[in-house]
Amino acid sequence: MSTITEPTTRRNVRRWGLAAAATLLWFALYNVNKPFWNWLIGDVAGLDLDSRLGSGIHFFFYDTIKILLLLGGIIFLVTVLRSFMSVERTRALLGGKREGVGNVLAAGLGVVTPFCSCSAVPAFIGFVASGVPLGVTMSFLIASPLVNEVAIALLLGLFGVGPTLLYVAAGLTIAIVAGFVIGRLKLERYVEPFVYETTLRGKPLDPSVGLTWDDRFQMGREEVATILRKIWPYLLVGIGLGAVIHGWVPADFFATYAGADNPFGVLVAVLIGVPLYSNAAGILPLVDALYAKGLPMGTLLAFMMATVALSLPEMILLRRVLKPRLIATFVGVTATGIIAVGYIFNAIL
């Protein structure tokens, strides 16, 4: 018995010891990031951090490292937590749930279940074919890309806990209400017929069953590497544009078209965001720079939500399973919710 227990104990001590050391290292790097770039750019390079050039360069390097640290830490943590959940388990939980309760549950599960635009079609087919109501399925499809770990990580690092919690609450509310409205409109006839003819054969394998902590940590490391490989071009472009806006673009330019004094500012932001294709990693550095120029938080969150939740590629993918009228309804209901949230946030913040 002891010969089996001792190696297991050593593995546990080693695993959790490495996890603790990595956590301490992460916090140390995060805390020295800003002082390091202040020293390197201000003292070593001799640039004035208040000048356009100095502030723009500082914004680019400081935000790049900060966002990478936030993404790495939170993606790893969320992936480990999310390893206890799977799309198959989510589908089983949602099957047979009535609208209302089902929409709330679907939106909550959408936040913790692996999902992206590329899996929109198979996820939709699997949910509907297994008996999940259309409106409940739409709540899941809206919440999953909208309230994701990348957006949460970046918002937390850029704006703090308050705006992040507001964003999560608003995203869940939009997903719940939009899905409920779509369900009440009885639009099942605008789903392509082959979806209802699809049958799920056999019992799906649940990949979250039987995983050890070592497996979950390995999944976390692999997910960090995979996501960073996918988004680093968007990240650098977004931070680069943010640096240009931060250092060179006059604040009056944005205040005129989308500032607090413009009653159509939120509407303009959403209309720009809907056809604009990006993800949270690419759009949030721009949001950070625009916030520094004085744009209201509600307008900025509405812009980000429209860009992340209503991307053109996802609409193109969903056309394989949804008819144009249902896609238009989906976009219209979701965009209306985003606009309402933008105006409400501007009024209370």
pLDDT tens-place string over residues 30-81: 889 889 988 998 888 888 877 878 877 887 888 788 878 877 887 787 677 7
- pLDDT score recorded for residue 282: 64
Mean pLDDT of the chain: 76
Q: Please check the confidence at residue 245 and state whether its pLDDT lies above 70.
A: no
Number of other residues whose CB lies within 10 A of the CB of residue 189: 9
pLDDT at 209 over 60: no
State how far the Cα of 202 lies from the Cα of 130, in Å rounded to an integer: 12
Cβ atoms of 125 and 198 within 8 Å: the answer is: yes
Q: In whole angstroms, what is the distance from residue 285 CA to residue 1 CA? A: 55
Specify the pTM: 0.65
Domain layout of the chain by residue ranges: 2-82+215-231, 87-202+249-348
Summarize the confidence of residues 93-117 as an average pLDDT: 70
CA distances from 9 to 4, 17, 331 (A): 9, 12, 53
Residue 346 confidence class, pLDDT cut points 50, 70, 90: confident
Does the pLDDT of residue 130 top 80, yes or no? no
Element (H, E) at 325: helix 324-348
- The predicted model gives 199-226 an average pLDDT of 67
Residue 24, pLDDT above cutoff 90: yes
Contacts by 331-337 with C-beta closer than 8 Å and gap 24+?
Answer: 331/274, 333/178, 333/181, 333/182, 334/142, 334/174, 334/178, 334/309, 334/310, 335/270, 335/274, 335/306, 335/310, 337/173, 337/174, 337/177, 337/178
pLDDT of the residue at 78: 67
The two structure tokens encoding residue 321:
């399973």
Choose among 341, 234, 328, 230: nearest CA to 296: 341
Give one DSSP letter per residue of 81-123, joined into a string: HHTT--HHHHHHHHTTPPTTHHHHHHHHHHHHS---GGGHHHH
Residue 334 has pLDDT above 90, yes or no: no
Q: What is the mean pLDDT of residues 265-272?
A: 81
Alpha-carbon distance of 70 to 65, in angstroms, equals: 9
> Taking 50 as the threshold, does the pLDDT of residue 247 lie above it?
yes
